[in-house]
Chain A
Amino acid sequence: MKTKNLKRKLIRQRDLFFMIIPVMVYVFVFSYLPLRGWTMAFQFYRPQREVQEWVGLDQFRFLFTDAAFFRVMQNTLGMSFINLVLGFTCAIFLALMMNEIRQMKFKRVVQTISYMPHFLSWVIATALISDFLSSTGILNTLLINIGIYETPNIFLANKDYFWWIVGWGNVWKSVGWNTIIYLAAITSIDPQLYESAALDGAGRFRKIWHITLPGIKSTILVLVIMNIGWILNAGFEVQWLLSNNLTIEKAETIDVFVIRYGINLRNYSLATAMGIFKTVSSIILLTSANWLSKRLVKESLV
């Protein structure tokens, strides 16, 4: 009896299964197949050789004892934290604001414009950002004309600004895209809740605080948990393309380090060791964030 039920359920949901097949193929090809290359991390791998030299944990030892590693970790975590906080607050804020717009045409225009930068590649996005911040760029022109600066401030020449430039660059590029999911969650809130709140005399801000935000709480938490797993991926293109000698000290993330000391020195083993380190850290972070959220707010991913 039970198997028959399950079978019928499977058939009824076959559209969903078809939709998920491409994703599963993608994950298998790009995430599971490459795992066999992990053996490289324990070798001194040289391309085009039949037999490789095994070196045990030497690559990991090099990684964790290198002075550059700590600088790179600091940069990665710093930029990730800024991205996480800015990314979430801005996207949620924008989604709430957009939800309050009653004029549909205006809402659509705002939405389209704000998610457009998402489709730009980082090569173009960083070129726009550095134009924006250059001595003759719009920001400097504005600040000089309203009398805040006398001479242009070369923002990209100051390493202390770099994390924030990356953070706000990320916000600009992805805020519109990130709001889509919140807007979708907001539409699933029962309108009756708003009506009864209005009867009780709640204003706009009260309704946002007591109905909209709790309504999307679980969406927010799922996204936070997933993003915590990505915390060691502070980005690569943006730092690689936007940094220069003056900011490199604050700009080098784990991925940039892997390119320089792994790929470019053709020490593929070191790059693999770093990849393993990132994956293992991500799994630990993800499960502990999930566990914590289950304990604290009774919401979890799995």
Chain B
Amino acid sequence: MKFRKLIALLLASAMLVSLLAACTGSGSGDDGGGGTVTPPIVEPGVTPDPPSGEPSAGAALAASLGLPYTPLSEMDPITFTYFIRDPGVAPRSDNPIIGIIETITNTKIEFEFLVGDLETRMSVMLASGDWPDMAYFGGEARPFIDSGLALPLTSLIENNAPNLRSHYAPWWELMKHSDGEIYVAEIYGTPVGTQYINEHWGTAFWLQKAVLDHFGRAPATLDEYFDFIREYKELNPEIDGVPTIGFEILTEGWRRFCIDNPPMFMAGYGNWGPAAPVNQRSFDAPSAAGCRWTNDWNKPYYQKLNDEFHLGTINAETLTRSYDDYLATLASGAVLGLSDQLWNFNSGLDPLRAEGRFERTYLPLDFTYDGVTPMYLDQREFTGNNGLIVNRDVSDPVRLIQYMDYLIQEDVQRLLSWGLEGEHYFYNDRNFLERSQEQRDLQVESQWQEDNMGIRLYNQFPKMQGSFSDGNATTQGEQPDEYMAGLTDYDKELFAKLGIFNQTGLMRSIPAAWPAFYPYWSMTWEDGSAAGLANTRITDINERYLSQLVITAADNFDALWVEYVSAVQDIDASPLWEVIEQISQERLDAFFN
């Protein structure tokens, strides 16, 4: 009897196993790019002319579009894989501009986007040593460098990529890792020419345009900001059938800067990261960076959030939302205010723009505590690690570098960012790049851009940010005239009513010049080090307490605050401060080198 039951059990578990096996099939695949034929390598340091005789299809296309010639046109097709640390969709295969680049360079880039959790994904890549030809990890590439998985780029760039070398010239020494080699091809921190700021994409308190429209002016303080929200919410308990939400706070994963960072800005600091030096304007290396979590300047902000929670401006549900839920909530148009960085929530506003509900989008505001100068605006800052790294096992590193070198040329950059002359833009009589209203309307939707423009390549490879040598801005959004002309009628009217000229008009911050060791959020440490552990412990405490501080009973706030501060102080954070001091000194040394 018993035996038969055991068999029944085993059968049941065998069924389970076969189910599991069915789910985990198709695990193995080819390692990508391994089977391609290596093309002839170009002599380093020599810029070849087009070969005489019949030009190749790529060379002919480049010539017909007025683009520079590249020897890649004569080579066999090759494919490189590229991992991006964010969720996303690969550009369509019929994207015309990416198609032009593929024809000219015979190089295809296969994008692979993040699915699931980034940290876990990276750890698996590291442990197995199996990862795509290139990867963009934001500022997190360090473990790949330390474990020897990343390819040193220094001599590759010097020998094969004259354009890239001169693009990087001002930062060449800063780019070097402690072993003297360059591993990261910086994408975002290498500005060229004039920097036009029409739009703020960083941290701010964002207020719905409809609220600003209603009051006809911007609130002057954080208190008034919440007064506006509360009053508007009472007048409009529902927005298009959805209950109005006063203020949203995102707390999921690494995006928790939405709850962590506002007090730092309130106290007049820039976007430093996990620590901020006591005197942030001093250009000497800080002797001891202060932990910013226990500072007195944090408390009033969370106290304010707690007050607003009890007044009903903040709903506890906002603290339970995942990033996807958060974007969906913003897309409803019912959220009046939030503190975030625009690049983080911009995609949530796409549906609103598509529906023409521009009054439900936002303008940035930069509040501070009394008497403190706001420091919300950054110039583009070199980070040293916000770029792509290349796999040491890539099939043809020279070709990859030559490809990147081709993309960074001004004419190609213009093609990727602005599109084709005549079709997407034209030169006006003052020799400025301009789009017709019809061309402009097409660009409003980010999905259309993804499908029809070269922005994916522009965004994911070393790029020119600022202006071209002829003074034109590198992107449409930065071209002042184009920005003004591209405003919707609603924005034009609202801006006139508020007396401002662009999206940043309500902000009082002036772009700051920071010391060479700014910012600390881009610093990295060795895997498994005490500094990393201390940082995780601090994050843990913040996770457990900051959200609770928002929703705790009003008379319990002070007690919980004391508990929080002592919990942070109990952590031995000295390894973290040591790393910060060391990194400050390294960055200063590289800067003056």
Where the two chains meet, the residues of A that have a C-beta atom closer than 8 Å to any C-beta of B are: 16, 19-20, 22-23, 26, 44, 46-49, 68, 130, 134-135, 154, 156-157, 180-181, 184-185, 188, 218-219, 222, 244-249, 259-261, 263-269
Contact = CB atoms under 8 A, between A and B. Distances in A.
Given A20-B10, A23-B13, A264-B123, 10 more contacts: A44-B528, A135-B315, A154-B315, A244-B322, A246-B551, A248-B544, A261-B533, A264-B536, A266-B122, A266-B527
A222 B5 CA distance: 10
Interface stretch (B14-22, B102-110, B161-169, B289-297): B14-22
Nearest to A67: B570
B431 interface: no
B350 interface: no
Interface of B: 1-2, 4-14, 17-18, 21, 119-120, 122-123, 126-127, 129, 143, 146-149, 251-252, 256, 259, 315-317, 319-322, 527-528, 532-533, 536, 540, 543-544, 546-548, 551
Nearest to A249: B544
18 contacts: A19-B11, A48-B126, A48-B129, A68-B540, A135-B315, A156-B320, A157-B319, A244-B321, A246-B548, A246-B551, A248-B544, A259-B120, A260-B536, A265-B528, A265-B533, A266-B143, A267-B528, A268-B127
A130 B18 CA distance: 30
Given A22-B17, A48-B148, A181-B9, A135 B120 contact: no
A246 B320 contact: yes
A266 B123 contact: yes
B547 A246 contact: yes
Per DSSP, are chain A's interface residues mostly helix, strand or loop, or mixed? helix
A268 B259 CA distance: 30
A297 to B, nearest CB: 13
A244 B550 CA distance: 14
B119 A263 contact: yes
Contacts of B149: 48
Which of A49, A245, A261 is packed against the most chain B CB atoms within 10 Å?
A245
| Most A Cβ at <10 Å: residue of B5, B120, B122, B129 | B5
Contacts of A249: 544
B31 to A, nearest CB: 16
Given A48-B148, A49-B147, A249-B544, A154 B123 contact: no
A265 B5 contact: no
A244 B319 contact: yes
Nearest to A21: B14
A20 B315 CA distance: 54
Contact of B251 (A47, A181, A245, A259): A245
Contacts of B143: 266
Contacts of A19: 11, 14
A245 B546 contact: yes
Contacts of A260: 536, 540
A260 B538 CA distance: 13
Chain B: interface secondary structure? helix
A219 B533 contact: no
Given A47-B127, A47-B129, A264 B120 contact: yes
Given A23-B14, A222-B5, A245 B528 contact: no
B130 to A, nearest CB: 11
B512 to A, nearest CB: 31
A116 B440 CA distance: 50
Contacts of A184: 8
A134 to B, nearest CB: 7
Contact of A245 (B10, B11, B256, B317): B256
Contacts of A16: 7
B126 A266 contact: yes
Contacts of B122: 266
Contact of B536 (A48, A49, A222, A261): A261
B147 A47 contact: yes
Contact of B21 (A26, A48, A245, A259): A26
Contact of B320 (A22, A154, A269): A154
Contacts of B251: 244-245
Contacts of B127: 47, 268
A48 B130 CA distance: 11
Nearest to A19: B14
A130 B528 CA distance: 35
A244 B547 contact: yes
A245 B544 contact: yes
B431 to A, nearest CB: 52
Residue with the greatest number of chain B CB neighbours at <10 A, chosen from A47, A135, A260? A47
A265 B256 CA distance: 18
Query: Which of A248, A249, A265 has its CB near the most chain B CB atoms (within 10 A)?
Result: A265
B546 A263 contact: no
Contacts of A245: 251, 256, 259, 319, 543-544, 546-548
A180 B16 CA distance: 13
Contacts of B532: 265
A157 B317 contact: yes
A181 B319 contact: no
A244 B322 CA distance: 8
A20 B18 CA distance: 11
Contact of A185 (B5, B316, B528): B5
A48 to B, nearest CB: 4
Contact of B17 (A23, A49, A185, A265): A23
Nearest to A185: B5
A54 to B, nearest CB: 14
